Amino acid sequence: MRNQATRAVFDYWINLKGDRAAPLRTEIDPTALRHLLPHLFIAAMDERGVLAFRLAGTRICDLFGYELRGMAFNQIWFGAEQPQPLYIAQNVIRHEQPALVDLVAVTADARQAYEMLLLPLRSTDGRESDRLFGALLPRGAPFPAVALPVDGLEMESWTFLTGGASHFGVPVTVDQKGPLRAFPQQPASGLPAQGRKF
């Protein structure tokens, strides 16, 4: 994680979950992350079984030039990129293992390095995770340096994270756009749920 804001979101999630694999969605307090809300999103399975954005912050929507709510998670990636980030996201939910994705936001004239943090959240029953709590931030600067909107995202690499206290997580699996070797199981399924509006 190169952006301090990304680390702050990860630390918040780590402290919130405690000894559990993931916190409850109802425990997320938007006021605790007020200054970061424009960069945050929640995604969950919709009624079609598609992982879709339940809500997305204003900075993320500005980046693409449209509202992401209701859009499938894989649609923000270029076509050839779609299966891998989606599979990573599904396994974050299935295995309750946070992940960090290094990516590039692409326009016709520029490329800007970003990082996407993917964190599992559980429903109010607390039995298993069924959604993502995420952040999308530039790797170096706090605000985008590219012309907006971007045409799509390209993944560079990904890392599953672990951490037991308020500190930067330790990578446990790293891949350079190859297949998910750590988690060969089928993609996750989830339940429709109501997201909290930031």
Kindly give the confidence (pLDDT) of every residue in the chain, 198 residues in length, as a single tens digit, with 9 standing for 90 and above.
788 899 999 999 999 999 999 999 999 998 999 999 999 999 998 888 899 999 999 999 999 999 999 999 999 999 888 899 999 999 999 999 999 999 999 988 888 999 999 999 998 777 899 999 999 999 876 555 556 789 999 999 999 997 544 344 444 333 444 444 444 444 333 323 333 333
The pLDDT value given to residue 101: 97
The secondary structure of the chain in percent helix, strand, coil, rounded to multiples of 5, reads 25, 30, 40
In a domain, 10, yes or no: yes
Pair 113, 102: CB distance under 8 Å: yes
The pLDDT value given to residue 193: 30
The pLDDT value given to residue 56: 97
**Count of domains for the chain:** 1
Task: Compute and round to an integer the Cα radius of gyration of the chain.
Answer: 15
The pLDDT value given to residue 2: 80
In a domain, 195, yes or no: no
The pLDDT value given to residue 174: 39
In a domain, 190, yes or no: no
In a domain, 107, yes or no: yes
CA proximity to 134, closest of 10, 59, 40: 40
* Domain span including residue 8: 4-26+39-175
The pLDDT value given to residue 59: 92
- φ, ψ dihedrals at 83, nearest 5°: -60, -40
Pair 130, 120: CB distance under 8 Å: no
In a domain, 196, yes or no: no
The pLDDT value given to residue 32: 92
In a domain, 135, yes or no: yes
| Beta bridge mates, 135 | 40, 117
The pLDDT value given to residue 67: 96
In a domain, 48, yes or no: yes
In a domain, 187, yes or no: no
The pLDDT value given to residue 110: 85
The alpha carbon dihedral of 136, 139, 143, 145 has a sign of negative
Tell the burial category of 113 from Cβ atoms under 10 Å away from its Cβ (0-12, 13-18, 19+). middle
The pLDDT value given to residue 83: 92
**What CATH number has the domain bearing residue 101?**
3.30.450.20
The pLDDT value given to residue 146: 54
